[in-house]
């Protein structure tokens, strides 16, 4: 048994129209650790991540039942309860998508964007946190002289690190990553992996990855999603 | 290129030449018909003086002002309502209530303008008259409120179309960063949808300028320079309809062709402005 639990899921079902995508998921996810989710394509790994920040609510025909609780420092809270506005949840549960999705604005504004959303007005504080986030994502040296340029002019790998920096600027408690390194070259992959190892000190990371070697290198726990069920990857001896 | 391709190309090319040609031909025709008046040499007078046929003054300035005032005010009335409506339909409730509303708006486009005119005359005009206790109620305010309603489907459908074309990954980005729906509207949807919205606004403005029935039925048709919302006014279109119905050979009648050209020019200018701003917005 783990002592430090961040997320608890009980009887979680995910339906897409009449199709069952996730069936009766019951798991606990450890705080300040990297939990990897692997498994065949099209089995609902992305859907699983979207349960955790309630982004599934944007998908027409999707339905989730069951209980998901997270500990944001005040004990376990049901993430679906009506007193928790969904945008507050998403400010604490950051997400980086498989395909980089910078917003059509400058590099600086992209990183400052979550702070703007939270109502931060202090320019000096914003500038400080933008720089810190870009440094964390190992992007600062490459973009510090072109912060006013449109973020969509960056290369694919740089865009992915930008999205990572943007998610970090909000200082989330939980970070969801959907195959964040699939569009990156080997060197950038290592950079991101080092970043994740560093980040887990302050953040709980859930990583969807196809790469078993990557999971071996950085994950503390591994779960496999197949046949609609999420099971510990006992074959790797990394039972959670 | 095979035979079928060539036939299609020729047919489509012919269709585009025909429609562009008709537009230009209408202008040529209007200029041709207004030559007698133009030759009399008082074009400038027509454009700048008041309308008083009894004293030999045939100026259409009050009608030009009335047309612009009505078009601007109706756009002003319609804009916030249409924006809210499109946002509700496309972003807040894309299914259920929003879809139903969209059907209703589509239906609105099919309602003949004269019906809106009737509603205006029998419902809105008495209300305005009672509320302000002034005049007949047939005034700029009543006409622009009703005209605002008439052009709103154009605005709503253009706005909602522009909203729906904002790429989903931008919306996901804002959602996943914890943006509220209104932050999403302000920071991403509006800036992205702006060029399409602008086109809708120009078309709606053109529709308001070109509308005849609402102005004719509700604005009172007095030839006055508009100075207050409760003033009666006459638009160029209503003017043409009124004179046309009563006359066919006088100077008043001949001036109508100048009115037509002015209306044509005002609409074209609007479209040129929109193109310019559209390009600027895109760059």
The tokens of B132 are what?
A: 């302000």
Mean pLDDT of B231-249: 86
Which range of residues forms the domain containing residue B12? 3-41
Q: ipTM above 0.90?
A: no
- Categorise residue A124: left if φ over 0, alpha if ψ from -120 to 50, beta otherwise: alpha
Burial class (CB within 10 angstroms; exposed 0-12, middle 13-18, buried 19+) of A36 = buried
Which domains, from first to last, does chain A contain?
A: 5-236 (3.40.50.300)
User: In angstroms, what CA-CA distances link B99 with A200, B103, B250?
Assistant: 44, 6, 53
Same domain as B213, residue B120 = yes
Q: Are A199 and A168 in contact (CB under 8 A)?
A: yes
DSSP H helix total and E strand total for chain B: 13, 2
Asked if the Cβ–Cβ distance from B176 to A94 is below 8 Å, we say yes
* Helix, strand, coil tally for chain A in percent (to 5): 35, 30, 35
Q: What are the pLDDT digits (tens) for A149-177?
A: 999 999 888 898 899 999 999 889 999 99
Please give the full DSSP string across A24-70, using - where no structure is assigned: EEEEEEETTSEEEEE-STTSSHHHHHHHHTTGGGGSTTEEEEEEEEE
Q: Are A215 and A38 in contact (CB under 8 A)?
A: yes
Q: What is this structure's pTM?
A: 0.81
Question: B180 CB near a chain A CB, below 8 Å?
Answer: yes
Among the residue ranges A183-187, B12-16, B19-23, B212-216, the one predicted with the least confidence is A183-187
Residue from B171, B176, B179, B195 to probe the interface with A (highest A Cβ count within 10 Å)? B176
Angle at the Cα of A64 (from A60 to A65), degrees rounded to 5? 150
Same domain as B133, residue B178 = yes
Q: Are A106 and A145 in contact (CB under 8 A)?
A: no
Using CB atoms, which residue from B172, B178, B187 is nearest to A101? B172
Which residues of chain B have a CB within 8 Å of the CB of A55?
Answer: 172, 175-176
Same domain as B12, residue B78 = no
Q: What is the largest CA-CA distance in chain A?
A: 51
Please give the pLDDT value at position A237: 47
Confidence of residue A236 (pLDDT cuts 50, 70, 90): low
Residue B228's nearest CA partner among B141, B146, B143 is B141
CA distance A95 to chain B (A): 6
- Cβ-based contacts under 8 A for chains A and B: 63
Whether the per-residue pLDDT at A196 is higher than 60: the answer is: yes
Same domain as B33, residue B79 = no
Same domain as B207, residue B151 = yes
Burial class (CB within 10 angstroms; exposed 0-12, middle 13-18, buried 19+) of B265 = exposed
The tokens of B151 are what?
A: 């052009």
Same domain as B83, residue B37 = no
Asked if the Cβ–Cβ distance from A104 to B170 is below 8 Å, we say yes
A112 vs B279 pLDDT, higher one: A112
Same domain as B69, residue B16 = no
Confidence of residue B214 (pLDDT cuts 50, 70, 90): very high
Q: What are the pLDDT digits (tens) for B111-155?
A: 999 999 999 999 999 999 999 888 888 999 999 999 999 999 999
| Count of structural domains, chain B | 2
Same domain as B53, residue B104 = yes
Q: What are the pLDDT digits (tens) for B169-184?
A: 999 999 999 999 899 9
Same domain as B101, residue B19 = no
Same domain as B134, residue B34 = no
Same domain as B58, residue B173 = yes
* Helix, strand, coil tally for chain B in percent (to 5): 80, 0, 20
Confidence of residue B49 (pLDDT cuts 50, 70, 90): confident
Residue B264: CB partners within 8 Å, gap ≥ 6? B26, B27, B30
Same domain as B234, residue B110 = yes
> Hunting for tokens 């720089």 — which residue is that?
A131
User: What 8-state DSSP symbol labels residue A152?
Assistant: G
Give the CATH number of the domain where residue B187 resides.
1.10.3720.10
Q: What are the pLDDT digits (tens) for B175-209?
A: 999 999 899 999 999 999 988 898 899 889 989 99
Which residues of chain A have a CB within 8 Å of the CB of B192?
Answer: 104
């Amino acid at each position: 048994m783990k002592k430090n639990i961040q997320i608890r899921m009980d009887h979680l079902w995910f339906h897409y129209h009449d199709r069952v995508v996730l069936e009766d998921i019951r798991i606990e996810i450890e705080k300040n650790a990297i939990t990897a989710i692997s498994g065949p394509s099209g089995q609902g790994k992305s859907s699983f991540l979207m349960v955790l920040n309630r982004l599934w609510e944007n998908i027409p025909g999707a339905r989730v039942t069951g209980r998901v609780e997270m500990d944001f420092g005040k004990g376990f809270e049901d993430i679906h309860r009506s007193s928790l506005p969904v945008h507050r949840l998403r400010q604490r549960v950051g997400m980086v998508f498989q395909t980089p999705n910078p917003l059509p604005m400058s590099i600086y504004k992209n990183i400052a964007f979550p702070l703007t959303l939270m109502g931060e007005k202090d320019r000096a504080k914003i500038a400080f946190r933008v720089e810190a986030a870009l440094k964390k994502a190992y992007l600062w040296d490459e973009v510090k002289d072109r912060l006013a340029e449109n973020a969509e002019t960056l290369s694919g790998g740089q865009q992915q690190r930008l999205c990572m920096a943007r998610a970090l600027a909000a200082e989330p408690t939980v970070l969801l990553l959907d195959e964040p390194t699939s569009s990156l070259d080997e060197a950038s992959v290592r950079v991101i992996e080092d970043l994740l190892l560093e980040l887990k000190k302050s953040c709980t990371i859930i990583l969807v990855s196809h790469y078993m070697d990557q999971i071996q290198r950085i994950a503390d726990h591994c779960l496999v999603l197949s046949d609609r069920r999420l099971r510990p990857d006992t074959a790797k001896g990394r039972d959670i | 290129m095979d035979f079928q391709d060539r036939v299609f190309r020729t047919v489509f090319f012919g269709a585009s030449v025909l429609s562009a040609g008709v537009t230009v031909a209408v202008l040529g025709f209007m200029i041709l018909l207004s030559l007698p008046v133009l030759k009399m040499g008082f074009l400038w007078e027509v454009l700048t003086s008041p309308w008083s046929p009894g004293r030999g003054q045939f100026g259409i300035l009050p009608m030009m002002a009335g047309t612009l005032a009505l078009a601007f005010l109706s756009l002003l009335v319609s804009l916030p309502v249409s924006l809210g409506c499109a946002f509700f339909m496309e972003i807040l409730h894309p299914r259920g209530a929003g879809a139903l509303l969209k059907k209703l708006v589509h239906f609105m486009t099919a309602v003949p303008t004269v019906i809106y005119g009737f509603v205006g005359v029998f419902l809105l005009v008495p209300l305005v008259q009672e509320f302000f206790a002034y005049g007949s109620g047939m005034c700029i305010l009543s006409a622009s409120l009703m005209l605002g309603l008439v052009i709103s489907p154009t605005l709503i459908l253009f706005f909602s179309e522009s909203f729906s074309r904002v790429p989903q990954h931008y919306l996901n980005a804002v959602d996943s960063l914890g943006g509220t729906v209104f932050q999403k509207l302000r920071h991403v949807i509006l800036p992205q949808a702006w060029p399409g919205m602008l086109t809708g606004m120009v078309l709606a403005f053109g529709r308001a300028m070109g509308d005849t029935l609402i102005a004719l039925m509700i604005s009172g048709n007095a030839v006055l320079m508009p100075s207050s919302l409760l003033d009666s006014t006459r638009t160029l279109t209503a003017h043409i309809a009124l004179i046309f119905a009563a006359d066919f050979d006088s100077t008043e009648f001949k001036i109508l062709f100048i009115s037509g050209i002015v209306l044509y020019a005002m609409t074209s200018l609007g479209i040129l402005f929109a193109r310019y701003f559209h390009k600027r917005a895109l760059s």
